[in-house]
Amino acid sequence: MAGYLVLARKYRSETFEEVVGQEPIARTLTNAIRTGRVAHAYLFTGTRGVGKTTMARILAKALNCLDGDEPTPTPCGTCDACVSIARGDDVDVIEIDGASNRGIDEIRELRNNAIFRPSRCRFKVYYIDEVHMLTKEAFNALLKTLEEPPSHVKFIFATTEVEKVPATILSRCQRFDFRNIPTAKIAEHLKAICEKETVAADADALYRVARAAAGSMRDGLSLLDQLLAGAEKVTDEEVIRVLGTPPDERTIAIVQAIADANAAAALGELAAVLDSGVTLTSVTAALSDMFRNMMLAATCGPESELIELPETQRKNVGELTGRFSTPAIVQAVGVLQRTSQNIRGSSVGRALVEAALVRLAEADKFVDPASLIERLEQMAAGGTAMGQKKKPVTNIPAGMPRPAAAPVRATPPTAAQPEPTPSPEPEPKKKVKPLSSDEKQKVQDDPAVREAMTLFGGNMVHMERVETPDPAVVTPGAETDEEETEQE
Ligand SMILES: [Zn+2]
């Protein structure tokens, strides 16, 4: 494969017209050049692979193209300046990686050189990528140049973390926020490239690649590189293999088992997927994705543009959605999201995913989130105002199969939702004592607490022990079941 040029470089957009996914920015810059209102400094923000460097090079070419006598929104692409700028090695268009040139010395050198006129172009353009990495001193030095820039100098800064760029710099730049590129646009672009490369590719396979790229054209093109290196044709099976994601029918089978309230079948399907070599993380991500799309279908309709799926899969999602109530779907999204966080680095990851599936399949046996939240809020508020029972956080059992709890889940949309009825009970006065850090750790490590967190999502913000008074002074008639819950 000697001389193979990766697709991201081979098919980098060369003009504002060709830019994919950032059309509004391309349009604004085109107008700025046409009307001669080009700013001294630009800041391009956005995640990686969305076209910041590409846009910077096009802007530099537009300012410096030697084909005409002045800047042009349509640089020729063939003059010496255009060619070397496109390669990233022009003498007057200096590309600096802020991550490896972050000190004051580098910026001082930049300032000293910026004074001199460009050698052949109209403008000296400094493109500093990952500008947020500069040190404080370097930013201060840069600021001096930004305050009084020589008229022949233009700055283009790019960053993935704009919140780390000092306000003094921000206020001197014209800012453009690069958006994540929509899946459909990435898929379209991949298709066009496959045509140019005369490679056969399934539309569904390209869409899957585009989805995996998650808004980054560069990631999408790297994946396509990988696929083309291994096969003659881009097929869905091959993409699934390379991505290590479970095949759709597997994911669908798990969701169907959950809809059937058949936990055993869900676990069986999970085992089969894992046996086929798919990782736990990928299965959980696929399930998360599926329930998210179902949530979108349930709330915005199955035809919603927010659902980024090809037609065949969109149909599947529509059908599955009809088998769940919206609250059940929303709960599943939360449970799976939480599970995917918890399995990272966990030695019992599989057990956590299995627990999540059982929880979802048998959700009607568990407490509903609404009444749990209400109880947690009562605890947070001290619970005394309402005279309601309060319990230490340590004592939230994970399952809590309370008779009063309303079932939440896979009920068909037509079924009426029983109202959650938390049952207030009278309680004796209690004393509140803070916990030691050892005790707090114990609570956090408690499997029941962890499971409750997994199930309902949330963070531990406060812990205290609530002590019941001596039973001897409890007013007659006051009901106490505190004995069983106060074990410490
Ligand atoms: Zn040119």
Strand 431-434 relative to strand 464-467: parallel, antiparallel, unpaired? antiparallel
Residue 485 in domain: no
Cβ-Cβ contacts under 8 Å for 421 (sequence gap 6 or more):
371, 404, 406
Mean pLDDT by 10 residues, the chain (488 residues): 77 94 96 95 95 96 95 96 94 94 92 92 96 95 91 96 95 96 94 94 92 93 92 89 88 95 96 92 93 94 85 86 92 93 90 95 73 71 48 41 41 46 55 78 71 65 67 45 42
Q: How far is the CA of 81 from the centre of ligand 1 (A)?
A: 6
The distance from CA 385 to its chain's CA centroid, rounded to whole angstroms, is 40
C-alpha 158/C-alpha 99 separation (Å) is 11
What length is written for the chain? Answer: 488
Q: How many domains does the chain have?
A: 4
Measured CA to CA, the distance from residue 330 to residue 307 in angstroms comes to 15
Is residue 391 domain-shared with residue 285, that is, in the same domain? no
Quote the ligand 1 centre to 56 CA distance (angstroms). 15
77 CA to centre of ligand 1 in angstroms: 5
Residue 1: inside a domain, yes or no? no
Dist. CA 116 → ligand 1 center (Å): 22
The CA 13 to ligand 1 mean position distance, Å, reads 15
Domain boundary among 135, 150, 177: 177
Classify residue 453: in a domain, yes or no: yes
Q: Are 370 and 356 part of one and the same domain?
A: no
Both 48 and 112 in one domain: the answer is: yes
What's the gap in Å between 33 CA and the centre of ligand 1?
15
Rounded-to-integer distance, Cα 386 and Cα 401, Å: 24
Which CATH number covers residue 171? 3.40.50.300
Please give the distance, rounded to the nearest whole angstrom, from the Cα atom of residue 76 to the centre of ligand 1.
Answer: 4
Structural domain includes residue 487: no
Same domain, yes or no: 99 and 158: yes
Q: What are phi and psi of 305, to 5 degrees?
A: -70, -15
Which residues have CB under 8 Å from 55's CB, separation 6+? 19, 22, 25, 26, 29, 44, 176, 178
Q: Give the domain-ending residue among 218, 243, 268.
A: 243
Instruction: Let me know: does 201 contact 194? Beta carbons within 8 Å.
Output: yes
Q: Are residues 14 and 136 in the same domain?
A: yes
**Residue 346: which CATH number?**
1.20.272.10
Instruction: Tell me which H or E stretch contains 155.
Output: strand 153-159
**According to the model, what pLDDT value does residue 391 have?**
42
462-471 CB burial, b ≥16 within 10 A, e <16: eebbbebeee
Residue 206 has φ and ψ, to the nearest 5°, of: -65, -35
Structural tokens at position 401 = 């199969």
Give the residue from 177, 209, 229 where a domain finishes. Answer: 177
Pick from 54, 63, 55, 125: nearest CA to 96:
125
Distance 83 CA to ligand 1 centre (A): 7
Residues 328 and 388 grouped into a single domain: no
**How many Å lie between the centroid of ligand 1 and the Cα of residue 78?**
5
Same domain, 280 and 222: no
Q: Which residues contact 416 (CB under 8 A, 6 or more apart)?
A: none
- Is 454 among the domain residues? yes
What letters, b where the CB count within 10 A reaches 16 and e where it falls short, cover 436-453?
eeeebeebeebeebebbb
| pLDDT given at position 116 | 93
Which domain, by its residues, includes 254? 248-361
CA of 61 from ligand 1 middle (Å) equals 7
107 and 200 both lie in a single domain: no
In this structure, the answer to whether residues 389 and 437 fall within a common structural domain is yes
CA of 130 to the centre of ligand 1 (A): 27
Question: Rounded to whole angstroms, how far apart are CA atoms 124 and 114?
Answer: 7
**Cα gap 208→310, rounded to integer Å:** 9
Give the pLDDT score at 329.
94
Q: What is the pLDDT of residue 427?
A: 54
Compute the C-alpha angle 270/273/279, nearest 5°.
Answer: 100
Residue 42 Cα to ligand 1 midpoint, Å, equals 22
- Angle between helices 203-213 and 236-243 in degrees, nearest 10: 20
Burial of 198 (0-12, 13-18, 19+ CB in 10 A): exposed
Q: Which residues, 6 or more positions from 477, have their beta carbon under 8 angstroms from its beta carbon?
A: 426
| 294 lies in the same domain as 353 | yes
Q: Is residue 322 part of a domain?
A: yes
Q: Are residues 208 and 83 in the same domain?
A: no
Report the candidate in 358, 351, 308 with the shortest Cα–Cα distance to residue 332: 358
89 class by beta-carbon count within 10 Å (0-12 exposed, 13-18 middle, 19+ buried): exposed
pLDDT at position 307: 87
* Assigned domain for 462 exists: yes
484 is a domain residue = no
The DSSP-derived string for 82-100 is HHHHHHT--SSEEEEETTT
CB 216 within 8 A of CB 49: yes
Same domain, 105 and 239: no
How is 406-467 classified by DSSP, letter by letter?
PP-S---TTSPPPPP----------EEEEPPHHHHHHHHH-HHHHHHHHHH-------EEEE
49: amino acid identity, one letter: G
Compute the distance from residue 10 Cα to the ligand 1 centre, in Å: 18
d(CA 109, CA 127): 15
From the CA of 28, how far away is ligand 1's center (Å)?
Answer: 20
